[in-house]
Structure 1
Amino acid sequence: MTGDTLLRVEDLRTTFPSGSGEIAAVDGVTLEVPRGRTLGIVGESGCGKSMLSLSIMRLVPSPGRLAQGRVVLEDRDLAALSPSQMRAVRGSEIAMIFQEPMTSLNPVHSIGDQITEAMRAHDAKASDDELRTRAIEALRRVRIPSPERRFAEYPHQLSGGMRQRVMIAMALSCRPRLLIADEPTTALDVTVQAQILDLLRDLQQETGMSVILITHDLGVVAEMADEVAVMYAGRVVERGTAADIFNDPQHPYTIGLLGSIPRIEEDRERLLSIDGSVPPPFAFPKGCRFHPRCPFATRACTEADPPLRELSPGHRAACIRAPVENILDIAA
């Protein structure tokens, strides 16, 4: 790990038992999160993005388990910590914003109680008055109006955008060094989505934290991410800077995702689309896992399981045809 790297995931494999043996929802993922920067993880539903985030947090639902690999936060392997040691890390060093705030917040507890509970877990000596003051300040920091009043309200009394701000306030209440935002703008309208993204950007600049942004929305990734990892069928199939991924994509899956976005400067009757759907973990094909849906697939793709290869400094792709010049033009 370099001094500029806060978190490194090394060959991580998360499995679940099945009648035919263990199946891998996350299969051999390696990536790095630089200090103070944003890593975007993108892909369709079912690609393993959320399971990867739960694996980093050691929150994989039973009977799933981390079967292989390391999750290194600076010099500590989180995969090797005891449950009590990991509880001390969650919230204070790594925090997470979950997809749907209405289901993540407890409907029978006030907003204030839920924020102060997270603080109390990491600062047992703080008084109730001190925790209340800090919680109200956290609500004010995420630009919730009248935070003293909102402190006593319940989740159903807030809008979707307000609930998401509460989740952000809760996640940042102990000033973690890494924030994992799993689809933080899902189910929000465009205006509120822009406000939440602006808020996350401002808070990152204010605190210097690193961010893992998990989304299927490439527009959000283009706006927020410094580096991007594209996931498919439990694996990272392309990694690079945002400029690499958007200007010079080299994996056919990345090309398909980008081709599905309407571009104002192009006059197309139809957008590109990717036929089929992501296979479930118990039905991953042999060879390249994307080959059944890939318009460029050859016989070799059904036999070889291509590793991530470095195509240029910092830009890697898992495709036997890469690198290909002007591959976006070929796809069009």
Structure 2
Amino acid sequence: MRDNAPLLRIEGLRTVFRSSVGEIAAVDGVDLDVPRGRTLGIVGESGCGKSMLSLSVMRLVPPPGRVAQGRVLLEGQDLLRLSAGAMRQVRGGKVAMIFQEPMTSLNPVHSVGAQITEAMRAHDKSASGAELRDRAIEALKRVRIPSPESRFDDYPHQLSGGMRQRVMIAMALACRPQLLIADEPTTALDVTVQAQILDLLRELQDETGMSIILITHDLGVIAEMADEVAVMYAGKVVERATAAELFASPQHPYTLGLLGSIPRLDEDRERLLAIEGAVPPPFALPKGCRFHPRCPFAIEACTRAQPALEPVADGHLAACIRAPVEQSAELAA
């Protein structure tokens, strides 16, 4: 394996669900790379397919869904072809995940220490109970939980939202995974705690060298954390670039709309921009470009065929027949 090869490569991933109108795609032909030791941000509105993409990588798609096509290559090994037993060893061992809401992810009838040690025991059956307890307490220390020895025996309801999120991070990192998938890790947390969680993730990444997939709708979090960004809309990636390039020169109208909805200190604007309408459901996708019914730049050609994700600059891809153009000034007007 070459040192410059990505840790994770997603190729043509398509996840579908059976319905009364046939199979509908929640993730539709996604290609992504996650470099070693770097953070890939995935951003988009609710319903764009971000969380389903992460569940597809982990092979946790709930029925009646299934991954219909594509490959998920971790260091060249296709996770979609592993046996169920082999995949259980990958989860938590090589790839770990932080889910959106820790209160629903943690079991309310077991102490947080018991849940962390259970995750460890799944990957190290030879360790004694005392060894697992010591390692779990050390994991709680690493995520800056005060008095970890006493917190080990606490139950989820005894902890604040920020503390529960730290427990989830401790559990996810207990076996030192190579890749951490963080799905909205700061949702429902106040701004101060959110900043603490992001700082913690950054410190742990520097310490362990792990890669991170950060899924969020918050572009402020993306700007602070991500090295590269993929913008998703209606199950597809519509723009991909480094974080610096994306914020400096967005090329897809959807990205422009997302950025235009954020207040900025360097601009004097009476009203923020808003994207009209909503993300279409996967069973009622428009023909042509999926964003064209909401797009201020749409022309008749946009209704005919889906645009491919193509280079518009070095390392910058966009799925728009009008890219690259100076759209931001046109949109602001």
- Which bin holds the TM-score, normalised by the shorter protein? over 0.9
Equivalent residue letter for 2:331 = A
Structure 2 unaligned residues grouped into runs of 5+: none
Measured in 2, the distance between the counterparts of 1:302 and 1:270 equals 30
For the residue of structure 2 that corresponds to 1:283, the secondary structure is coil
> Can you list the C-alpha shifts for 1:220-269, whole angstroms capped at 9, x where unaligned?
00000000000000000000100111000000000000000001111111
Equivalent residue letter for 1:238 = E
Equivalent residue letter for 1:71 = V
2:259 alignment counterpart? 258
1:327 alignment counterpart? 327
Measured in 2, the distance between the counterparts of 1:190 and 1:269 equals 24
Q: Displacement, 1:327?
A: 2.0
Equivalent residue letter for 2:327 = I
1:146 alignment counterpart? 147
Equivalent residue letter for 1:3 = D
1:238 alignment counterpart? 239
Structural RMSD (CA): 0.8
Measured in 1, the distance between the counterparts of 2:248 and 2:154 equals 46
Q: Please state if 1:314 is matched with 2:312.
A: no
For the residue of structure 2 that corresponds to 1:108, the secondary structure is coil
Q: Displacement, 1:2?
A: 5.8
Measured in 2, the distance between the counterparts of 1:141 and 1:220 equals 22
Q: TM-score with structure 1 length normalisation?
A: 0.99
Equivalent residue letter for 1:328 = S
1:125 alignment counterpart? 126
Equivalent residue letter for 1:138 = A
Equivalent residue letter for 2:237 = V
Aligned length: 331
Measured in 1, the distance between the counterparts of 2:298 and 2:253 equals 9
Equivalent residue letter for 2:271 = R
Q: Please state if 1:98 is matched with 2:102.
A: no
Measured in 2, the distance between the counterparts of 1:99 and 1:164 equals 9
For the residue of structure 1 that corresponds to 2:187, the secondary structure is coil
Measured in 2, the distance between the counterparts of 1:3 and 1:92 equals 21
> Can you list the C-alpha shifts for 1:99-141, whole angstroms capped at 9, x where unaligned?
0000000000001100000000000000000000000000000
Measured in 2, the distance between the counterparts of 1:106 and 1:319 equals 45
> Can you list the C-alpha shifts for 1:251-293, whole angstroms capped at 9, x where unaligned?
0000000000001111111011100000111011110000000
Equivalent residue letter for 2:159 = L
Q: Displacement, 1:329?
A: 1.4
Measured in 1, the distance between the counterparts of 2:255 and 2:245 equals 11
Measured in 2, the distance between the counterparts of 1:265 and 1:227 equals 24
Measured in 1, the distance between the counterparts of 2:247 and 2:2 equals 26
For the residue of structure 1 that corresponds to 2:312, the secondary structure is strand
Equivalent residue letter for 2:329 = D
Measured in 1, the distance between the counterparts of 2:218 and 2:66 equals 28
Measured in 2, the distance between the counterparts of 1:315 and 1:265 equals 25
Q: Displacement, 1:3?
A: 3.2
For the residue of structure 2 that corresponds to 1:261, the secondary structure is coil
**Equivalent runs, 1:152-231 vs 2, <5 Å:** 152-231=153-232
Measured in 1, the distance between the counterparts of 2:77 and 2:108 equals 36
1:31 alignment counterpart? 32
For the residue of structure 2 that corresponds to 1:230, the secondary structure is strand
Measured in 2, the distance between the counterparts of 1:161 and 1:52 equals 25
Equivalent residue letter for 2:317 = R
Q: TM-score with structure 2 length normalisation?
A: 0.98
Measured in 1, the distance between the counterparts of 2:276 and 2:313 equals 29
For the residue of structure 1 that corresponds to 2:7, the secondary structure is strand
Equivalent residue letter for 1:223 = E
2:269 alignment counterpart? 268
Equivalent residue letter for 2:259 = L
Q: Please state if 1:3 is matched with 2:10.
A: no
Q: Please state if 1:61 is matched with 2:62.
A: yes
2:304 alignment counterpart? 303
1:110 alignment counterpart? 111
Q: Identify if the C-alpha distance between structure 1 residues 7 and 281 changes in structure 2 by more than 3 Å, giving closer, same or farther.
A: same
Name the % identity.
Answer: 78
Measured in 2, the distance between the counterparts of 1:111 and 1:243 equals 38
